[in-house]
Amino acid sequence: MTDGRFTNIQMIGPKAGSEPTQVVLLLHGYGSNGADLLGLVPYWADALPNAVFIGPDAPFVCEMSSMGYQWFSLREVMAGAPLADGLRRAGADEVAPTLNALIDDILERFSLPAHKLALVGFSQGTMMALHVALRRAAPVAGVLGFSGLLMDPPSLQAEMTAKPPVLLVHGDADTVVPYASLARAETALNAAGVAVESLTCAHMGHSIDDAGLAAGQRFLQKCLSGEG
């Protein structure tokens, strides 16, 4: 059982067979695990042959299913409380130093600068990716967020220390994280001066479709090449 530390971190690549010159760190959703988002690697490995894809299990066993993991608790939400920023923000703040330490360790291990590491999140993983990336000292290459949201938008401009490019992808039929979260995040990021793009996937629920995969590939290629 995890207790706030990373105990299982899986890596795939680089496909080129050499030492990585790029890192894609995949942050899974609530109740899932690192292996889940590593399922995206076959779609992106050819386009990013020099990237290592890293998928950690989140630091806490999921309170709703011992087979999965969580970045922070959603017990109150699952019990019917509103999905309010306060419930998420405290948990995100608690685990953020652990995620930041993992990012630092990865960069040190491969002797890479921050702008050669991109964060990819799904759902709760997107929440963590945005929360951490916008508050790091040195900007990462970019943040690709699927089916997530930006926590506590009013605090962003006062707390932001980095402005990595962001691509947000969301299905307009999402009943888990409301589709309206996309516009709210995009508005706040634009106001804070972050270069943000968004993609709406028609008739898609809480998932990732081919359009999102293709857009994500283009975004990662661009930001990791230094063009973004």
Quote the pTM value.
0.92
Q: Quote the CA–CA distance of 74 and 91 in Å, as a whole number.
A: 9
Token couple for 131: 């929360």
In a domain, 3, yes or no: no
Average pLDDT over residues 92-98: 92
Q: What is the pLDDT of residues 158-169, one digit of tens each?
A: 999 999 999 999
* Residue 26 near residue 125, CB atoms below 8 Å: yes
**CATH number for the domain that contains residue 74:** 3.40.50.1820
Structural domain containing residue 27: 9-224
In a domain, 113, yes or no: yes
Q: What is the pLDDT of residues 180-228, one digit of tens each?
A: 999 999 999 999 999 999 999 999 999 999 999 999 999 999 999 975 4
Output the DSSP codes for 122-144: ETHHHHHHHHHHTTSSS--SEEE
Average pLDDT over residues 67-80: 73
In a domain, 2, yes or no: no
In a domain, 162, yes or no: yes
Q: How many domains does the chain have?
A: 1
Q: Which residues contact 222 (CB under 8 A, 6 or more apart)?
A: 142, 228
In a domain, 4, yes or no: no
pLDDT of residue 2: 45
In a domain, 92, yes or no: yes
